[in-house]
Amino acid sequence: MLGKLVKLVIGSRNDRLIKKKRKLVKKVNALAADYEKLSDEALQAKTQEFRDRLEQGEKLDNLIPEAFALVREASTRVFGLRHFDVQLIGGMVLHNGKIAEMKTGEGKTLMATLAAYLNALPGKGVHVVTVNDYLARRDAETMGKLYGFLGLTTGVIVSDLDHDQRKAAYAADITYGTNNEFGFDYLRDNMAFSLEQKVQRELFFGIVDEVDSILIDEARTPLIISGQADGSTDIYLRTNQVIPHLTRQEKSDDPEKQDQMPGDYFVDEKSRQVHLTEAGYEKVEHLLVEHGLIEEGSTLYDPANIRLMHYLNASLRGHVLFQKDVDYVVRNDQIIIVDEFTGRMMTGRRWSEGLHQAIEAKEGVTIQNENQTLASITFQNYFRLYQKLSGMTGTADTEAFELNKIYGLEVVVIPTHRPMIRKDMGDLVYLSAREKYIAVIEDIKDCHKRGQPVLVGTTSIEKSELISSLLAQQNIPHEVLNAKQHEREAHIVENAGMPGAVTIATNMAGRGTDIVLGGNLSAELAALGEEAGEAEKEKVRGAWLDRHEKVIAAGGLHVIGSERHESRRIDNQLRGRSGRQGDPGSSRFYLSLEDDLMRIFASERVAGLMQKLGMQEGEAIEHPWVTRSIESAQRKVEGRNFDIRKEILAYDDVANDQRKVVYAQRNELMAAEDISDIISAIRSDVINDAITQFIPPKTMEEQWDIAGLEAYVQQDLNMPLPIAQMLDADLNLNEPKLRQLIVEKAEQESEAKAASIGQDIIRHFEKSVMLQVLDNSWKEHLAAMDQLRQGIHLRGYGQKDPKQEYKREAFEMFNNLLSHIKVEVVTILAKVQVTKEEDVQAIDEQRQAPMEMHYEHAEAHSAFEPEPEQLPSAAEPEVTEQPFVRESQKVGRNDPCPCGSGKKYKHCHGKLS
C-alpha cells in the first residue's frame, strides 16, 4: 500500500527515468534549427569534430545532444524520416546500457541508429545483434546509408562469409549480425592458430535486437563447435527397432496405484523426460538380447552395457517426445530442427547427446557421425563479455527481473508515440480442441467477409497446417507462414495487412517486419523501379490509401491466438503485431482443455469451474477467473524456466572462469614472438616436481630411487645421465645441487638443439607445440567436464550440494589439466627431433589439419532436471580423461601413484584426472 502511495506522489522508477531523459530531449530539439541550416558537407564534418573532441578527453556523454541532433537531421535528409522524441529517449536508454521496451511499429531499428552512431565515435566498434541473417542484411543495407552519409562504415556478419569478408565486417565502425554468428566467431577466434586468423576486435558495445528472445529464450541452449568423433551408427539403427515394441504406461486415477499400471515407460511432460518402468526394463533387456546388443543373462546395468543405456534413452526420447513437423522437419535426407520460439528451420544445427542420430534412425534418413566438443559458450557468458550491453524489444517487462539479475540490464518502458487503442478481448475456453477450431474458423470467416485482415498465431507447424486445411475446406484464401515457407516470409508479412487477408503464423515472435494496414507502400513503390514517373507513384499511393482506410474502417488487424504459449511474453508479441503507431486493432485467444498448457498446468481448476457453470458442448467460457488461472499457469512455467537458466548459468560460470584463463593464455602465446622464457620456467617446474617423486623430502641418499630417476631422465627428457656414477664420484653432490645439475643439463640440451637448427625455427617449434598441447588438452578437459556435469546431481543423494561439489572437483580437474599441459610440453620438446624448418611445418600442418566442424545450438539440461540415466554425452568421444570421482582415500599430487609404477601420482594416473 505504501509503495503504491509513493508511486502516486513521485512516480515509479521508470517514470522518473523517462522524465530525466525528457530534459536531454529538450536540448536535442533546441539544436534542430541550427543543424537544419548546415550543408551536407558541414553536417558530415561533425563526425570528425566529435572524434577530435573525444581524443582531447571530452566524455562521450557530453556529446549526446549534438550527436543525436546530427543523426536525426541526417535521417531526415537520407530517409525522409525524423526521429520522434520517444525514439530519442530510447536511444539514450540504449547508450546508458539498459533495455528499451518499445511497442511493435514504434521504430526500434531507427532508434538504434542514435546509440550506434554515438558509441561508434571512439572507433572501437559497435555490434548490432539481430535474430536472423535476413534482418541483419536488411538493417545493415538500409541503415548503412545513414551511417555512410555521416562518414561511418557498416559491416554485416552472416553465415556465408569467408574469413577475409568477416574480418572486414568486424573492422567496420558498426557491424550487424546474428547472435549465433557473433558467438561462433568468438569461439572460432579462440581456436585460431595465429592472431592474423582472428576476425573479432574487442567486444566494446552491443545492441541486442529482440533482446528477450536472445537473452531469455535461447539462454538454455549453449553454442557448441564440435568435430567428428568415432561412433557407431549401427547401434542407433538397432535400438530404433526396439522402441516401437514398447507401450506407454496407462494413467491411473489413483496416484498411489500408478506404479501398478501396465506399460513400459511413462512421460514426465513438465520436465520433458521419458522413464522406463520396471516391466519396461525387463522387456527392453529381452528385446536387446534378440537384436544381439547384449548377451543372454546380462542386464542393462552390467558395466559392459552402461554405454548402451545412453543409446536407448536417446532413441526413446526421439520417438516419444519429438514429433515430425512440430520439433523438426525431414528434408533432403536430413533432420532439420525447428526453433520452438520462432518456428524457423535451423539448418545445420544438430541436437547433441545422440538425440539427432536417434531421430535420424527413427525417420530412416542417413545417420551422421557423433561429434566431439571443441569449444562451447552460453549466450549468457558471451554477452557478458561486452564492456557495455544494451537491448531493445517490444516485450521485456515480464522478464525484467531475470534480465537485471543475470545480465545487470534494467528494462525501461518507452512511451508510445501515439496512444494504444487496440482492443484485447478476454480468452474463450472450450471443452475440446475440435470446438475451439470451429470457433476460430467462424471468427476468421466473419473478419474475411468484412474485409478485416486476420493474423492467426499457432504454436507448431502441425497446428498451422491443421487450420490451413480447415480454411481450405471453407474456400477462404490464406497464407501460411512457418518454417516450411521461410523463403517467402518477408513477402507474406508485407501483405498481411491487405483488406480481408488471412495469414497463419507459427510463433510470430521476432519476425522483424511490420504489418502495415493496407499493405507495404514502400515495397510497392520500390517495385516500380527508379524509372517510374511521379504519376505512376501517385497512382500506387492513392490505391494504397483507399485500402488503408478500408482496413481501418473494418477495425484494423485482428489477431487470433489458437492457444496460449507457455510464456506470457510470446503471447504479448503476437498481440503486439496489431495496433502499431495508434492504429486500431483487436486480439483474442481461443483455448481448450486439451491444449498443452491447460492440460499440464491449469486444466483441473478451469474444468472444475466449467462443470459448476454447467457448460455444454460448443459453449465457451469467458471469465476473469479463467484468465487469471491461465496467467498463473504461465507464471509457474516462466518461474521454472528461470530456475533452469539460473542453474545452467551457475554451472557454466565455473567453466567460464576456466575458459577465460585458457583463452587468455592462448592469446598471449599467439602474440608472443619468443616464449623461450616461459618454456624454461615450465621445464624447471616439471623437472623439480618429477625429482621429488624419486627423492622424497628429508630423506637420506640411501632412500633415494636413483635407478627410477635415471630412467625418468632418459625416457622423458631424452637425456642419458649417469646419476649413480656422478653421486659416487662427487660426495658433495647433494639434493639441491643434483636438482640444479639436471635442470641446467636439460637447458643446455635445448640450447644445443636451437644452435644446430637456428633460433627462429626452435622458437616457432616451441610455440606450435605449446598451442597444440593446450588445444588438445582443453578439448579433452571439455569432455571430462561434460561427463562430470551429467553425473554431479547424484551427489545430492549423499547429502552434498551438487553445485559446490562441481566447483570443487572442476577446480581440481583444472589444476590437473595445467600440470598435464606442462608435462606434455616438456616431454614433446625433449623427444621430438627437429632438424629443419620442414619438421616444424609438419607439426603446424598436423595442428591446423582441417576438421569438419559442426555448429550446434544444443539443448542444455538443468541440474535438477537430469536424464533418467546419467551417462557420458553421445556428442563426446570415449576419452582417457575421466571426471574426478574419489572412491578411496585421496592421493596427493606428489605421492607415489597407487598403481605401483613407482612414478609420482601426477605424472602417472594423475595425468588422467
Annotated binding site: 87, 105-109, 514
β-strands 585-592, 428-430: how paired?
Answer: parallel
Residue the block writes with cell 539479475? 405
CB atoms under 10 Å from CB of 909, counted, come to 15
Pick from 415, 417, 570: nearest CA to 12? 415
For 418, how many CA atoms within 13 A lie in the half-sphere containing its CB? 12
Planar angle of CA 26, 27, 28, nearest 5 degrees? 90
Instruction: Tell me the residue length of the chain.
Output: 913
3-state secondary structure string across 553-583 = HHCCEEEEECCCCCCHHHHHHHHCCCCHHHC
The string of DSSP codes covering 617-649 is: TT--B--HHHHHHHHHHHHHHHHHHHHHHHHHH
In angstroms, how far is the first alpha carbon of the chain from the final one?
58
Pick from 497, 516, 416: nearest CA to 111? 416
In whole angstroms, what is the distance from residue 881 CA to residue 780 CA? 7
For 489, how many CA atoms within 13 A lie in the half-sphere containing its CB? 23
Residues annotated in a binding site for ATP: 87, 105-109, 514
Q: In one letter, which amino acid is 728?
A: D
Pick from 903, 868, 896: nearest CA to 321? 868
State the alpha helices, DSSP H only, in 582-715. 596-597, 603-612, 624-671, 676-694, 706-715
CB atoms under 10 Å from CB of 706, counted, come to 16
**Contact (CB, 8 A) for 375 and 656:** no
The three-state secondary structure class of 869 is coil
For 664, how many CA atoms within 13 A lie in the half-sphere containing its CB? 6
Planar angle of CA 591, 596, 600, nearest 5 degrees? 115
β-strands 334-338, 345-346: how paired?
Answer: antiparallel
Rg (CA), the chain: 32
